[in-house]
A = this chain, B = another copy of it.
Amino acid sequence: MAEKKQMHLTAFMRPVSLHTGAWRYPGSYADANFNFAHLTSFIQKLEQAKFDAFFMADHLAVLNMPVEALKRSQTVTSFEPFTLLSALSVVTERIGLAATASTTYDEAYHIARRFASLDHLSNGRAGWNIVTTGNPESAKNFNLDEHVEHSERYKRAREFYDVVTGLWDSFADDAFIRDQESGIFMDPDKMHVLNHRGNELKVRGPLNVARPVQGWPVIVQAGQSEPGRQLAAETAEAVFCSPKNIQGAKELYEDIKSRATAAGRNRDHLKILPAAMIIVGDSVEDAQQKRLKLDSLVHYDSAIASLSIALGTDASGFDPDGPLPTELLETNASKTARESVLKLAAEEKLTVRQLAQRYGGYAGLAFVGTPESIADEMETWLKEGACDGYTCVFPYLPQGLNDVADRLVPELQRRGLFRKDYTGTTLREHLGLPRPENRFFPSKQTNGGAA
């Protein structure tokens, strides 16, 4: 009997929740933004449930919203994710740790160093979510008046990836000898000076961190725009995306996998993990009631502010009870977010108010039901080639997370779709990804295929 295709599960986190009404939900930890004990309890619960990875979302600015929305937002401040994940590496042993870092507003040498360090600290559990930073407010915190243009950001991201991975390959895995007798600490023939001089970046190297435990931390990406898909196909090993339904997911899955093949990669070495908010109830109706209650906690001003960010234009002047104006300004805001809003509005014929409240809470794919009904949906998607697993979004914390860990995961395990225990120690091993060859110091034997 052939083993069933296995599902990967990662957690897509903000300390209080991605859903903007969540901090008001009964029993939620409203103070989780700076409460390390709460975050420890979340990640340890996910590790007990054998999740592949814990991924912390990020912004490089206080999001631009009207003051009435700002004062109701739980997202204004929180731990910087990288600092947080370094600390969480100490209270966990197996679960992967993925953080976002921007190729637009940071330096390749810094990013290569920090992720390599996190990989060493965690014994091979680091993942780098490459983002180009779609929030136009960020530019103003980094010496610019205008946001960097979309295609320009992607050009830089591609070169940035080459530099960071090149820096990770600065040393052969066996470069450090540390022979106390002879006094030889390192074999200089096993050190490579990158000397990168490209269109966007000049970085000499070598990195002052030994090669990461995983060779390279796992490369993660989101983004569904044309350059986003292409960048993912060429570089990413785990992609989180936001299809609205199984048909859209299948198209996206095939498109990105085909692009990966066209780029000369093994399509199995790129895992596609749609983001889905999961709400578990005792019955389907019970779960739906929970969602309604949660959405009702989103204030309209916050909702319209989120919609404005996604559209890249101020939506607060639109008629709340009319449809979305058909002609919207072209902007440099993230195309993925913008297109997804326009699609949602068109498909479900939503008014501005409905769209805003839906979008202001959590607009993406949601699995809402019993452990069995949700497992059915997740199994169907997996079997029909719509995904390799899921990027799980929890509606409120801790209960929404506990429901997934305690009720849904055992059902997935019972069906043979998800591991009952970790079989490896690194994030690459959890995801079934090969350890990349060092491009400058290839091993004598082949390791069974390139990344």
Contact = CB atoms under 8 A, between A and B. Distances in A.
B185 A141 contact: no
9 contacts: A23-B185, A33-B210, A73-B185, A83-B114, A83-B121, A90-B90, A109-B142, A143-B201, A183-B299
A140 interface: yes
A252 to B, nearest CB: 31
Interface stretch (A57-65, A408-416, A432-440): A57-65
A350 B123 CA distance: 46
A421 interface: no
Given A59-B208, A171-B77, A143 B202 contact: yes
Contact of A30 (B113, B114, B145, B180): B180
Interface in A72-96: 72-74, 76-80, 82-84, 86-87, 89-91
A395 to B, nearest CB: 16
B204 A141 contact: yes
Nearest to A203: B141
Contact of A23 (B137, B171, B178): B178
A175 to B, nearest CB: 9
B209 A77 contact: yes
A268 interface: no
Contacts of A118: 83
Chain A interface size range: 35 or more
Contact of A70 (B79, B137, B186, B207): B186
Given A23-B180, A117-B79, A209-B79, A185 B107 contact: no
Given A178-B30, A183-B297, A121 B36 contact: yes
A111 to B, nearest CB: 10
B202 A120 contact: no
Contacts of A62: 191, 205-208
Interface in A97-113: 105-107, 109-110, 113
Contacts of A299: 183
A184 B299 CA distance: 10
A124 to B, nearest CB: 12
A80 B186 contact: no
A71 B78 CA distance: 43
Contacts of A113: 80
Contacts of A67: 188
Given A80-B116, A140-B202, 18 more contacts: A23-B180, A24-B180, A36-B121, A61-B208, A72-B185, A76-B191, A77-B176, A77-B209, A78-B209, A79-B121, A83-B118, A86-B87, A87-B121, A90-B91, A106-B110, A107-B143, A141-B205, A142-B203
Contacts of A74: 185
A208 B145 contact: no
B117 A80 contact: yes
